[in-house]
Structure 1
Amino acid sequence: MSKAFHGFDLSSFWRNSQYAAENYVDRSPTPEMVKAVERQLGFKLPAAYVELAKIQNGGVPRNTSYRTDQPTSWSEDHVAITGIYSIGGNKLYSLCGETFNSRFWEQEWGYPAIGVYFAGCPSAGHDMVALDYRQCGPDGEPQVIHVDQEDDYRITRLAGSFEEFIRGLEPDEAFGSQTLSGVERAIRENDLDYLRQRIAAGCNLEETDEYDRTMIENAAIQNQPEVIELLASAGASLRNALSIAERNLKYFPEHEASVSLLRKLAENRNS
């Protein structure tokens, strides 16, 4: 049993998949690897992070939601993560990798330089989870925070430590979809039947959310090409959907499907 996680069952913490194995999971870190990563980051990693990596170094947890006491761009009462970065630099999602390393989010996306970005979110870069060293210093025990790029990089405190954050992760089902509007849920879950019903009922396809994004632009952010095609066929304006998808494609190869579709739709409308 891991000393840092006394009484907490880590045997089923990770969800096994080929995607996680290819993009997240690295070999167990040696003390030399940990020190090298810490030197490159400029911060000492929490002991619990290292202990978790000894069981599996990076990956996608079974439980990916964390409860909050205030709303974020993701939900009224929780945030979600897509995975936890491995300690090292070999994987696409690793703390010191060639592309999506911790510093990448500061240098390319303008996130504040306050610590270590260790977990991505389903928004494809528009919010992140980080270790915050502002109060404790580079050798202290950092808090875990959520940084919302969509809301001028607003910071929401999640947990007092990395271990507390890991212990507090809950399954998506614990929240259901009651915190989302029907359309938001349908876009995220690719619920085409619900969207068809809303379209048939005459919903406003050009209505924007608090971030001035239409449904089709949100579908581009969520990389939901089937939703994009449905909304476009119903007459929705493409507006900035293509530019949003193209920006995400620079960092997330899986967004190629949305970019290809939106380019085709734009060409057809311009012809």
Structure 2
Amino acid sequence: MKDSELKYIWSVPKYLPYVQPELTPEILEQAQKQIGYNLPDKLVEILKIQNGGYVRYKLAETPHEQIMGIGPYFPSLTDFDWTESKEYVSFELDGLVPIDGDGHWYICLDYRENKEEPQVSWIDLECDDEQKIADSFSEFLELLELDVQEDKLVIETVHSIEENVKQIELILAIEFEEPDYFMSGYAIYRGKYKDSWIWLTPNKVPTGFVREEDKRYNELKDQMNSSSVQYIGINENYLFLVLSEEKLISEVMEKLGSHNMKIKPITEFI
């Protein structure tokens, strides 16, 4: 990704429990004392935009999906302990600071060779494996790519998602289930067309979301009042259509198009 895209690195909607409180100079100073190293300038820059969370620009062909922020909530960049892991690997863990990971693998700032300018490394605790990803965090950012499902379709519309649901149901002779808001905080409509699942979702979504079951729901729920778009550069009123069977995409596009629905692959927009 380019420097001009840094402000768009964070996914929308943001999952609020994974976003730490605003990064202040005092919080940053304390965090750097705790880990024993200064964080890269570019990392600090993006954490000032949003202090951690899921990202829309990702490292291809890896499970990378977030950059941890700095703060009191899980997951936090300062909350790690290699003590119990050292017996399982043949390489040194001291000097590694995770920025993403699931307990088995991690993407880390790697200060083992250079305490001023860390590399970025991949480690796998189960496989006793380590690999250098980039010589610096800035170089790591350049490797990130916008995470786009290339077979996603875009419906160009000025009508509501509910109106489009009714029209698609009539054209394809299907019935959508009640929309699911639990997964991502916005309406996800699902139906069955022949032997394929079909999903319809909006581009305009809440800026952030938290589930009612979350312990911090009452604290965070007011942050769901604003809205944003999932994909910059695509009209906020447009909708996304995805099919589980790629072989049916052309057929569905033709049927919807024959009823004056404007539908194109997302690759024509991004």
TM-score, scaled to structure 1: 0.49
Larger helix percent: 1
Bigger RCO of structures 1 and 2 (CA < 8 A, at least 6 apart)? 2
TM-score, normalising length: structure 2? 0.49
Q: Larger Rg: 1 or 2?
A: 2
